[in-house]
Amino acid sequence: MRIIGGRLKGLGLASVGKGDAAAHLRPTTDRVRESIFNLLVNGGYGDPITDAIVLDLFAGTGALGLEALSRGAAHVTFIDSGRVATGLIRDNIAKTRTQDATKLQKRDVTRLGPTNDISATLVFLDPPYGTNLGELALTSARKAGWIAPGALVVWEDSSEPATPPSFEKRDARRYGDTYVTILSAEA
């Protein structure tokens, strides 16, 4: 696994090793990650990456958020509850030397509570496939002020998810066994 584009292009990330099957740790492949960023840049959304405040929910390895930083995002908050995942994210933050532009929180993504940080303008959501955790996480994050009005949400799942209230579906694509749905947070 490596950074695909931007100032950190080609930098290798920490090996997942045996991962954490119990926590459904399933890193986004380089191919799908590249497709996601091509879709964001060329999908008619303006420039959603440069200077973005990014929220990476169910962050796993942190590869999506770190890719955004490499491509010009201003800050990324990674949230995951898994022991293995938070260790990998910590290692990847160190490898990319992005400690000043990142924050890692080990907590339940579906019960975030209010934030004192600036609301995210770009959200990555990669919950365990085939669960309702994605909708619970988005609803929790939106209600608690983690997601700014107009923010783009990139949601990966095994099938196209239903659009939760206060979000609008903008696009959906299939890449192998992964569905990528783009939503925007309503004003």
Tens of pLDDT, residues 114-160 = 998 899 999 999 998 888 899 999 999 999 999 999 999 999 999 99
- Backbone φ and ψ for 46, nearest 5 degrees, come out as 75, -135
* The pLDDT of residue 105: 95
Q: Of all helices (H) and strands (E), which one includes residue 46?
A: none
Dihedral class, residue 59 (left if φ above 0, else alpha if ψ from -120 to 50, else beta):
alpha
For domain 35-185, say whether CATH 3.10.50.40 is its number. no
Q: How confident is the model at residue 17 (pLDDT cuts 50, 70, 90)?
A: low
Round to whole Å and give the CA distance between 26 and 44. Answer: 29
* The pLDDT of residue 18: 47
Chain mean pLDDT for the chain = 90
Which has the higher per-residue pLDDT, 151 or 16? 151
User: Residue 26: is its pLDDT beyond 80?
Assistant: no
- For residues 82-108, give the mean pLDDT: 94
Round to whole Å and give the CA distance between 179 and 156. Answer: 6
Ranges 19-23, 54-58, 172-176, most confident: 54-58
